[in-house]
Chains A and B, each alone.
Chain A
């Protein structure tokens, strides 16, 4: 089961003079989750549009489940599901009818279509709203209906374009669990995100895009080692406390930088946070504020740019 389900080779896309994508290559094995990380305008959506046959590439080639996205579009489309940034549901139809419509278009019989719609509505906690017009749905419900719509055909490859942007924390967590379950069941997932923690949690491999180019790729651990580190920040009450704290933290082998009343030190493991706290405590210092900061996408970019 190590066949490549997503295979993009040197894909480019030009819009006039603008290189939206410039020689991008990515791969994903069956059942894996590929995270595409990048800011707005990095080219994430353009790559998804090419891989889902919505846009022809200007150069390079791409295969989904072994089928060429340009020459075998129909084969590709019958094996993929797509959830874009904006919910693609028919607002004038009920949630149930939306899903039946997709199932019928995919070739399900009337009975199969209703069955599949009911199953998905239940799975996505939409049974109670099933008969209501999608127009009346909340943002989170619309997203769930949209995702359900992309799963009607049990796609082998699922594309999720920023699936959690704009969702509240609970809905976000629910979305993460759904993606994890799909991957566990053998669905190959490509998801784009602007959040490192999301890619970190869900993706087996992460590709970082910037201005249409791949600037880094690897597993989450590889990327972090290459990129950013966590930092501990300690804010103290007085300049004299800062001096003592500097000596104490230096003494335990960490090398903080001072800015005003705040010490910032890169750490490699979360137990280093405990080390810092203990060093302060041993010297009778009480921190005004103390925190552990995860590397952000900005850190990734800054580091990559610096290299």
Chain B
């Protein structure tokens, strides 16, 4: 009995820090519509800074709590600086570009933390006076856990008072609902946004700081917490602070008890709970259906036209160059070009759901890595030949996308994107934690093509055939009635609904098709590299794909190919340098600030005229 009470209390205390992070994320998103990927980094910085402050402050009865508060304030300040100097310039840029800027911050903070605090995991200090344990019917719970259990509801109450009883809170709620109208009523939202950013970052920092005595600090905290925070926001209901608490408690309890059932991965349980909640209440436990945005509708995407004669000629020349390449290129270059082709196929599948489908996936690596792992597992355990593997792996990935997609298409926009990221992170953690089967961090090795294709040149032709074929098939889909319907779904859900088209089914189908082709790319990747590691499924891989698509431009079909070539080259060049994540992050930010309307978009529109048929 005591054991169960202690597990319950442990779950509640875990929930506290989760709640702090999730409600900060939710507040910031509500007002600014920015999905702040760096929120998890703020949480991590909160933990590191708290360790630093508690270490440096003179010992006393309060130095622990003062350290925690100082760290939260410092993180709030960092958030404010990010808002004032970076995000404020970007409010009119497309959502995805802002997302990239915040992901750039994630990379920068990641490398800076490694540099400042070291790569070693840090064990947190204990709170003075709260370092012993309480005996509950024979089981023990740390006193500090009880303190955490009390903190979260107090903060919930404080936030509730702030949001309902102060003018600031009323303005924040008004801006969350309708920014333009709030503006027209004379409210200068600049300071409102900045203060919300401060509060949200403060809460993230506080979340990281208070969990220090329990979990310490490490460099994986940032992306681990952000996926959990997305799940909490989705489960609790967007913009609902009490919902965030409720969801945090559910997830916290789930982790506390789930560990008894599924010691390998409690994230599987998180997946199940999220699934059940989304089936019963698509807008989350305490969420309401989103009011339609009043902001001016985004500029319509440029119309995708079938290839002109000139473009077809250009394509044929391109194809000829690819066929002739093995005659001039060395093995290393061939492998690099094969890799580019694989990424181009994966990008094309992402573009397929993002561009015509209008569904942004933050977790496309789940299908690329999924295909790769399905292939690797089949070869490793069943010794299937390459040909069969390359046929089955995409199909299995398609099934995975079918399952994940069903949940994702229940939502739309940013919420859909959050969900894809959460699912991808769950897939990653299964692969990462289930070491007995997947090899965990060590990956799966020695997976080579069949004998006839083991020559790099032959494998090059095989990969090119499959990739170009896949890209052309995806392209063909865009010009079928199915593709037209998909674009109609993107442009006006309401109108599509009223002429009797089942929007969700089309989106679901598109999602699964994209999964199949990403899975094919992943399967080929395993045979190209001969091995597979969980990194191929990680969040940063998903963002690589997104970045490739954005680099190439969302409005053109050649975009994914150009983007993957440019990105793979860039990555190959800088990843040999120390602190390369810092450089990559800075490049993200500079590109987004310099070209808020899209990089290839601006170049592409200039090039476009050369490929148009003469009138």
Does B bind A? no
Residues of A that sit less than 8 Å from B by CB? none
Residues of B that sit less than 8 Å from A by CB? none
